[in-house]
Amino acid sequence: MEHHEQLAPPAPAAPLSADELRAMRRSLTTGRLAMTRRSLLRAGGALAAVAGGGAALSACGIAPAGRTDAALTVDHSPAEKRLNFSNWTEYMDVSDDGKRHPTLDAFQRRTGIAMTYTEDINDNDEFFGKIQAQLANGQDTGRDLIVLTDWMCARMISLGWIQPLDAERLPHARANLSAQFRDPAWDPGRKHSYVWQGIPAIIAYNVRATGGRRVDSISQLLEDPQLKGRVGFLSEMRDTVGLTLLDMGRRPEDVTADDYDAALARLQKGVDAKQIRRFTGNDYTNDLDKGDLAACVAWAGDVVQLQSDNPDIRYAVPKAGYMTSTDNLMVPSKARHKGNAERLIDYYYEPKVAARLAAYINYACPVDGVREELAKIDRTLAENPLILPDEEMAARSHSFRALTPRESRVFNQKFADLTGA
Amino acid sequence: MTATAAPAPPDEQSDDEALPLRRTPARKRLVPYWLLLPGILWLIVFFAAPLVYQASTSIQTGSLEEGFKVTWHFATYWDALAEYWPQFVRSVGYAAVATVLCLLLGYPLAYLIAFKAGRWRNLVMILVIAPFFTSFLIRTLAWKTILADGGPVVGALNALHLLDVTSALGITEGHRVLATPLAVVCGLTYNFLPFMVLPLYTSLERIDPRLHEAAGDLYARPATTFRRVTFPLSMPGVVAGTLLTFIPAAGDYINSELLGSTDQKMIGNVIQSQFLRVLDYPTAAALSFLLMAAILAMVTLYIRKSGTEDLV
C-alpha cells in the first residue's frame, strides 16, 4: 500500500520546461503554426472556396418540368418539306439488301418530304433522360416524331411536352385504329398519340427444356417445381405485375396499392424460392432459345421471330388474360414539322402500308382492315392471332392503369427492390 | 492554373534593358501553360463540373414534376447506405475476388510474356489486347453462351460433381452457373484481366535479366529469386494492376445484369435503377458519391500499406 504514494504525480500536471515553452512560442510565430500574411490569405482562400462551393452546390438544382405551351409551337411544315423521325432499332421494314426501308421510301416519293430516319431509341428511360433537359427548358429536341411506350407517353403528355394532333389531318388513322386502342385513360380520344405497334406480353416456353410440358399460366411459372430456376419474368414492371394481377383475378386497369403489394409479394415468393431465375430485358430471347429459360413472360413479336428459327418455341395466352402495351407515335413540343409528322402517322394507318410493316416486324398491328392485305403477302402471318388478334383474343387483352407520378415512383421503387436493385 | 502564369513580375520588366540575354519572352514562358489548357478545360468541363452537379443533386429533394431544390438534405446519404449496404458489400466483395483472380491468372501470363515469350511476345500481347476489339457488352453476352446450362463447360463441371461443391459453398445454384455469383465473378475477371496484365507486363519487362543471373550466382533457388528479386521489383505493376482492376470492377453493373440474378445485383445496378427507373436522382447521386468515397478510402489505405507511393 505504501509504495503507491511514492509514484510520480501524473504527467499532465508537470509544468512545461522553459525549453519547451520557447519551442512552442517559436512554432507559433515562425513555425508551421505561425500566422503570417500568406497563411491568412490561404485560409481566406479556403473559406472562399468552401463558400463558393456551397453557392455552386445550391445554384444547381433541377427546374420543375415546365409546361411548354405545345399548342403555340409554330409549324414549319408548309415551308420545309422535312421530317426527323426517331424510332427503336429494328422497328421498321427493311428491303432485301438491308439498306432501304420500303414503306418510308414510298412515303418520301409520294409526299416529297425528305426524311431523316434515326434508330436512336433503345430504352424508354434512357431516351427520356436524353431529351428531358431540352423539353424541360422548352427547347426543340430536333425530333419531329418519336415512338415511346404508353406509360412513358402518359408521363410526357402529363408533363405537357407533347403537341396535340390535328384530327382533321388524320383521316385514315381515325377510321382504322382498332377499337381496343381507341381511348386509353392517359390520352382520351387519342389527342396526342397514335399507336405504332401493340406489344402483347404472353407466356413463351421451350418444349425441349420443359420436357414437352405446356406452360400456360403465371401460377405455373411461379409454382411448377419442374421449372425451378428456369423461369424468367420481364423487367418491364407493368407487363410482369399486370400478368400476375390477372392471374390473381384482379384487373390491372384499376390496380390499387394493395393489389400491387399482393402481386409483388407473390413474385417475391418466386424469387425467394429460387423459382425465378432472372428479370430480363430483351436478352431473354437468347436464354429461351438455348433452353436456359424453360418458360418466361415474353413479348409476342419476339415469339413470332423465335418460332421461325426454333420449332421448340411455343407460346400460350393465359386464360386469365394477357397484357397489351403499345408503342406510340408522338410529336414533342417545339418540333418544327408537326404537319409532316401527321402525314406520316396517317400514312401508316393505310391498310396496305400497315400490312407491309406488320409482315416485317411481327408485332400486333393496331390497324383495322389489314387482314386481306397481309394475306396477300403471307397467309400464315395473317392468321397469327399475335399479329392480328381475333375478337376472342382482343377481349382478353388488358392494359395497366395510368399511374400518377407519385404512384409510379412508389411502384417502381418496390419493383426495383423485388429485382434486387 | 493559367492565372499564376499570366502576370510577368514587374521588376523583370524594368531589368529588361540591363539583362537582355537572360530574359525569356513572355510568350515562350507561357507555352507550357497553353499546352496544359486543353487538358485542364477538359477536366473542368467533363470532370469537375459534373462532380459539383452530382454533389448538388445528392443534397436536393423534390420530384421530377415539382423540380429538385437544394435543401442540404444530407440524410439521403444515410438512408441510401442503410437501404443498399448489402449491394455495397457485395460489390466490394465481388471486385476483390475478381482482382485476386486476375492477379493469379495475370501474373504468370505477364511473366511469360516478359521473360519467356521470345519472338512470340508481340503475338501474345496482341492476344491479350484482342478482346478490346469487340464491345464490352458482346464479350459479356458471349459468356452466357459459354456458361449455358446445357453447354459443355457446365456439363463437364457437373460430370466432375464440382457444381455440387460450389453449390454447397453458396457460389452456384443447383446444376447451373449462370445467374449465380460464380458467373458474375467469372465475367468480371475476364473483362478486367487485360487491365491487370498490361501494367504487370510493363513493370516485369523493365527488370534487368542480369539480376536473375546474379541471384543465381549467389545460390538463390528460382523460388527465392522470384520471392526476393522479381516480385518486389514488380510491385508497382501489382499495385497499378490491382487498382485498375478493382476500381472499375466495383462500379461495374453489366456483368451482374447479364450474368447474375436478383441476389447478385451490385451497387452499379442500384445507381442505374435509381437514376433511370425510379427517377430518384438524389439517392442515385448520393450512392455514386458513397461509392467514390469508399473506393478512395480503400485505395488510399492500400497504397499506404503496400508502400508504393509512386505508381509504376
pLDDT given at position B8:
46
> Is residue A410 less than 8 Å (CB to CB) from chain B?
no
Q: Is residue A51 pLDDT above 80, yes or no?
A: no
Contact B65 A65 (CB under 8 A): yes
B73 → chain A, closest CA residue:
A58
Q: pLDDT band for position A40 (50/70/90)?
A: low
> Is residue A269 less than 8 Å (CB to CB) from chain B?
no
Share of chain A above pLDDT 90, in %: 69
Q: Is residue B6 pLDDT above 60, yes or no?
A: no
> 3-state DSSP call for residue A83?
strand
Contact B65 A412 (CB under 8 A): no
Q: Compare CB distances from B178 to A60, A228, A292 and report the shortest one's residue.
A: A292
> 3-state DSSP call for residue A318?
coil
Q: Taking Cα atoms as reference points, which of A119, A161, A166 lies closest to residue A141?
A: A161
Q: Compare CB distances from A286 to B144, B276, B278 and report the shortest one's residue.
A: B144
**Cell numbers 447451373: residue:** B176
**Which residues on A lie below 8 Å from B178 (Cβ)?**
292
Contact B67 A64 (CB under 8 A): yes
The mean predicted confidence, pLDDT, of chain A is 88
User: Which value, to the nearest 10 degrees, does the dihedral of the CA atoms of residues A64, A68, A69, A71 take?
Assistant: -140
Concatenating the DSSP letter of every residue in A185-230 gives TTSGGGSSEEEEEEEEEEEEEEHHHHTT-----HHHHHH-GGGTT-
Contact A409 B264 (CB under 8 A): no
A351 to chain B, minimum CA–CA distance in Å? Answer: 36
Q: Is residue A47 pLDDT above 80, yes or no?
A: no
Contact B262 A420 (CB under 8 A): yes
> Is residue A272 less than 8 Å (CB to CB) from chain B?
no
A232 → chain B, closest CA residue:
B261
Q: Taking Cα atoms as reference points, which of A215, A315, A232 lies closest to residue A280?
A: A232
- Give the span between the Cα atoms of B196 and B154, in whole angstroms: 27
- Give the span between the Cα atoms of A92 and B139, in whole angstroms: 27
Q: Compare CB distances from B66 to A64, A277, A283 and report the shortest one's residue.
A: A64
> Is residue A409 less than 8 Å (CB to CB) from chain B?
yes
**Which residues on A lie below 8 Å from B64 (Cβ)?**
62, 65, 159, 405
The residues, ordered by sequence, that sit 6+ positions from B22 with a Cβ below 8 Å of its Cβ are none
> Is residue A226 less than 8 Å (CB to CB) from chain B?
no
Q: In the predicted model, what is the mean pLDDT of residues B244-269?
A: 95
Is beta strand A295-299 parallel, antiparallel or unpaired with respect to B67-70? unpaired
Q: Compare CB distances from A57 to B55, B63, B176 and report the shortest one's residue.
A: B55
**Cell numbers 392485305: residue:** A373
Q: pLDDT band for position A33 (50/70/90)?
A: low
A126 to chain B, minimum CA–CA distance in Å? Answer: 6
pLDDT in tens, A349-362: 999 999 999 999 98
- Give the span between the Cα atoms of B265 and A97, in whole angstroms: 41
**Which residues on B lie below 8 Å from A126 (Cβ)?**
276
A66 to chain B, minimum CA–CA distance in Å? Answer: 8
Is beta strand B67-70 parallel, antiparallel or unpaired with respect to B60-63? antiparallel
Q: Is residue A173 pLDDT above 50, yes or no?
A: yes
> Is residue A297 less than 8 Å (CB to CB) from chain B?
no
- Angstrom distances, CA of residue A394 to CA of A148, A275, B115: 22, 30, 70
pLDDT given at position A90:
87
Q: Tell me the three cell numbers of residue B78.
A: 444515410
Q: What is the 3-state secondary structure (H, E, C) of B60-94?
A: EEEECCCEEEECCCCHHHHHHHHHHHHHHHHHHHH
Q: Compare CB distances from B70 to A61, A126, A277 and report the shortest one's residue.
A: A61
pLDDT given at position A319:
95
- Give the span between the Cα atoms of A40 and A369, in whole angstroms: 83
Q: Compare CB distances from B59 to A57, A229, A279 and report the shortest one's residue.
A: A57
B84 → chain A, closest CA residue:
A421
pLDDT given at position B98:
98
> Is residue A211 less than 8 Å (CB to CB) from chain B?
no
Q: Is residue A6 pLDDT above 50, yes or no?
A: no
DSSP A295: E
**Which residues on A lie below 8 Å from B53 (Cβ)?**
60
B259 → chain A, closest CA residue:
A278
> How many residues are recorded in chain A?
421
Q: Is residue B276 pLDDT above 90, yes or no?
A: no
Q: Is B220 exposed, middle or buried (0-12, 13-18, 19+ CB in 10 A)?
A: middle
- Give the span between the Cα atoms of A132 and B198, in whole angstroms: 41
pLDDT given at position A38:
64
Mutating which of B56, B59, B283 best tests the A interface, going by the most A Cβ atoms within 10 A? Answer: B56
- Give the span between the Cα atoms of A147 and B18, in whole angstroms: 74
Residue type for A292, please? D
Buried-state track B28-51, b at ≥16 Cβ within 10 A, e below 16 = eebeeeeeeeeeeeeeeeeeeeee
pLDDT given at position A39:
62
Count the neighbouring beta carbons within 10 Å of the beta carbon of residue B309: 9
Q: State the ipTM, two decimals.
A: 0.84
B57 → chain A, closest CA residue:
A61
Backbone angles phi, psi at A255, to 5 degrees: -65, 135
B262 → chain A, closest CA residue:
A420
Concatenating the DSSP letter of every residue in A138-195 gives T---S-SEEEEEHHHHHHHHHTT-BPPP-GGG-HHHHHHB-GGGS--TTSGGGSSEEE
- Give the span between the Cα atoms of B186 and B256, in whole angstroms: 10
Q: Compare CB distances from B56 to A61, A409, A421 and report the shortest one's residue.
A: A61
The residues, ordered by sequence, that sit 6+ positions from A316 with a Cβ below 8 Å of its Cβ are A202, A203, A204, A205, A214, A215, A216, A217
Please compute, for residue A293, the number of CA atoms within 13 A of its CA located in the half-sphere on the CB side.
30
Worst-scoring range by mean pLDDT, A8-12, B158-162, B181-185, B244-248?
A8-12
Q: Do the beta carbons of residue B188 and residue B197 sit within 8 Å? A: no
pLDDT in tens, A284-335: 999 999 999 999 999 999 999 899 999 999 999 999 999 999 999 999 999 9
DSSP A331: -
User: Which value, to the nearest 10 degrees, does the dihedral of the CA atoms of residues B64, B65, B69, B72 take?
Assistant: -60
- Give the span between the Cα atoms of A122 and A126, in whole angstroms: 7
**Which residues on B lie below 8 Å from A241 (Cβ)?**
none
The stretches of B112-161 forming alpha helices (DSSP H) are: 121-129, 136-146, 152-159
Share of chain B above pLDDT 90, in %: 77
The residues, ordered by sequence, that sit 6+ positions from A22 with a Cβ below 8 Å of its Cβ are none
- Give the span between the Cα atoms of A263 and A242, in whole angstroms: 9
Q: Is B218 exposed, middle or buried (0-12, 13-18, 19+ CB in 10 A)?
A: exposed
- Give the span between the Cα atoms of B279 and A63, in whole angstroms: 14
Q: Do the beta carbons of residue A288 and residue A296 sit within 8 Å? A: yes
pLDDT in tens, A175-212: 999 988 998 989 999 999 999 999 999 999 999 999 99
Contact A62 B263 (CB under 8 A): no
**Which residues on B lie below 8 Å from A409 (Cβ)?**
63, 278-280
- Angstrom distances, CA of residue B32 to CA of B26, B28, B35, B44, B126: 11, 8, 5, 18, 35
> Is residue A245 less than 8 Å (CB to CB) from chain B?
no
Share of chain A above pLDDT 70, in %: 86
- Give the span between the Cα atoms of A306 and A283, in whole angstroms: 12
Worst-scoring range by mean pLDDT, A7-11, A340-344, A404-408, B142-146?
A7-11
A185 to chain B, minimum CA–CA distance in Å? Answer: 20
